[in-house]
Amino acid sequence: MREPALQMVESDAALAGIVDTLGSEPEYGLDTEFMAEKTYYPQLCLVQLAWPGNVALVDPFEVDVRALGAVLERPGTMITHAGGADLPIIERACGGRPATLFDTQLAAGFIGQGQPSLVSLVSSLVDVQLDKGDQLSDWSRRPLTPSARRYAAGDVAYLLALTATLRDRLEKLGRLAWAAAECEILRQTPARDADLDTVWWRIKGARSLRGDRACIAQTVAAWREHRAQHVDRPPRFVLSDLALAAIVQRPPASIDELLRVRGAGSLPRAAARDILEVVERGRAMDRSELRAPPKHRDDPAVDAAVGILTGWTSQVAAGERVDARLLATRDDVKALVNGRPSRLDNGWRAEMIGGDLRAIVDGEAVVRLVDGGKRLQIER
């Protein structure tokens, strides 16, 4: 397959020309390179775009990428691979999400490819070997090396050809609508913005905290998260997880006592004063303001049934050549068995397996071992 023409976009005028071009394209490939090690919000370092015969690498350090918002608003389909991480970054940088989305990794799950990497999928379906040697490059450094440019271009160069092959196979299997529905769910899934009142649930042992300690955990963790957002640094850079847990377990009463907490010794005194204030706020909190972790009243007696039905679900997925993780997780099955809402209640999942699972739970069907215990079989 002929390699597309590659261009670097380092001026707003050049980007404007590409925006005009993409406005008339029915579909386009898009990927991003970003760094997330030292910031709260991932730092966008590169936007890769592809359309027939062309690839453009847009440098967000040189141009205003908000111009790409006009492309996202148009009816053309944005094609991506494993785009769950890219969508929130694009939304934050460009002010929106695409009108339509096709994710090649999601689509591959419906033709028996599992959740493949782009390298393996392009190799198997387009017969092109991508060079991924620069996967761990520092994308914030400039100028980009020629090999880094080639790597970045490869992330989008074959997305259109890949999509054509995937759509053809999905159409033959009668699963194109299933893939489209799953891509739409991904497109609409909101970014996981932190709920300041519930970030304390991530503290080790949070579910065992009670009374003042739970309230202090909520206020101190919320302060750390808010501070991290404000200074755009990972929360652990503001206050380590170890120090946070220690403060919750033994709340300090003075700055000197706080600075003796393991992991808190280098805190600026201003931050230390803030922490003492939120500790006191936690002590004074009305218990009605505490956001405790949810507790599902699941019946532990049905855990064995969940295990059997999860195994049967995996067997069905293998037989249907659908990625088992895409069809149902153990939590999906557990929710259905315990009478909670589940992804298996609607859509293609209900059609493939949800209805049968419901029949088993309701006593209208049974699962038996057959072929000498090698397979599970449902009987109504």
pLDDT tens figures, 158-216: 999 999 999 999 999 999 999 999 999 999 998 877 899 999 999 888 888 999 999 99
Comparison of pLDDT for 368 and 352, the residue scoring more: 352
Whether residue 363 sits in one domain with residue 267? no
Q: Are 209 and 282 in contact (CB under 8 A)?
A: no
Whether residue 212 sits in one domain with residue 82? no
pLDDT at residue 146 in the model? 92
pLDDT at residue 178 in the model? 96
Cα separation of 351 and 326, whole Å? 14
Q: How far apart are the two ends of the chain, measured CA to CA in Å?
A: 51
Whether residue 263 sits in one domain with residue 169? no
Whether residue 361 sits in one domain with residue 254? no
- Would you state the torsion angle of the CA atoms of residues 64, 65, 71, 77, taken in this order, to the nearest 10 degrees? 170
Query: Side by side, which strands form the sheet with 100-103?
Result: 5-9, 54-58, 43-51, 27-35, 77-80, 100-103
> Helix crossing, 269-284 with 211-231: angle to 10°?
140
Nearest Cα residue to 38 out of 184, 223, 231: 231
Strands in 318-364 per DSSP E? none
Q: Which stretch of 134-148, 153-167, 313-327 has the lowest confidence by average pLDDT?
A: 134-148
Say how many residues make up the chain.
380
Whether residue 258 sits in one domain with residue 139? no
Q: How confident is the prediction for the chain on average, in pLDDT?
A: 93
193 lies in some domain: no
pLDDT at residue 297 in the model? 67
CA atoms within 13 A on the CB side of 258: 23
**How many domains does the structure of the chain reveal?**
3
Is the pLDDT assigned to residue 101 strictly greater than 80?
Answer: yes
Residues 6+ apart with CB under 8 A from 307: none
When pLDDT is averaged across residues 38-59 and rounded to a whole number, the result is: 97
Query: What range does the domain containing 326 cover?
Result: 300-379
Question: Quick one: how far is CA 153 from the chain centroid?
Answer: 23
Of the residues 163, 188, 213, the one at which a domain ends = 188
163: tokens are: 């999509």
Cα separation of 365 and 380, whole Å? 4
Residues 6+ apart with CB under 8 A from 325: 109, 115
pLDDT at residue 246 in the model? 94
Whether residue 158 sits in one domain with residue 115? yes
pLDDT at residue 1 in the model? 67
When pLDDT is averaged across residues 317-323 and rounded to a whole number, the result is: 95
Is the pLDDT assigned to residue 79 strictly greater than 80?
Answer: yes
The pTM of this model reads: 0.89
Helix, coil or strand: residue 64: coil
**3-state DSSP of 75-108:** CCEEEECCCCCHHHHHHHHHCCCCCEEEEHHHHH
Helix, coil or strand: residue 51: strand
Whether residue 372 sits in one domain with residue 309? yes
Q: Which stretch of 65-79, 107-121, 269-283, 287-301 has the lowest confidence by average pLDDT?
A: 287-301
Q: Are 253 and 269 in contact (CB under 8 A)?
A: no
